[in-house]
Structures are given as C-alpha cells and as structure tokens.
Amino acid sequence: MSDSLWTSRELAEFLRYQESTVRRLVSQHPERLPPRVAGLGRPRWDAETVKRWAAMPAASGARRGRPRVVPGF
C-alpha cells in the first residue's frame, strides 16, 4: 500500500473487503466508506483519514441488515 492516497484495492485490503464491494459502495452507498479525496478522476482516499475513520466508534443504534427473529414471537 502507498502511504498517501489509496486506491479502491488498497482501501479494500485495509478494511478487509472485496475490491468489488468497495466499488459498489462508492457508487451506491458512499456514506458507508471514509470520505474520498475530491477532484480526482478515480476514487482515492487519504491513508491517515481512513485510519482515523476506522478508529472511530460506530454510531450508536445504527444497526444494518435484516432484523433477527426472536424465538417465541
């Protein structure tokens, strides 16, 4: 990985995602990824920004995905 600007592949490696997942999130759910560097032709992320973003706690109460089925209800 380079030290300053990361590609989709490098971001995926750091987040332990598939590169295709990062590409999909860039176009469909950019809010689920760290902020990108603006003004470049292709998506790039500042490495330090990504590391700070990854270290932040998740928003409380922000659950995603299908609700779990509770037995007996």
pLDDT per residue over 6-51, tens digit each? 999 999 999 999 999 999 999 999 999 999 999 888 999 999 999 9
Sequence-ordered list of residues with C-beta below 8 angstroms from that of 16, at least 6 positions apart, any chain: none
CA neighbor of 13 nearest in space, from 30, 1, 27, 26: 1
pLDDT value of position 6? 97
pLDDT at position 64 is 62
Q: Supply the pTM of this predicted model.
A: 0.74
Q: What type of residue is 47? A: A
Residue 53's pLDDT band (boundaries 50, 70, 90)? Answer: very high
pLDDT the model gives residue 57: 81
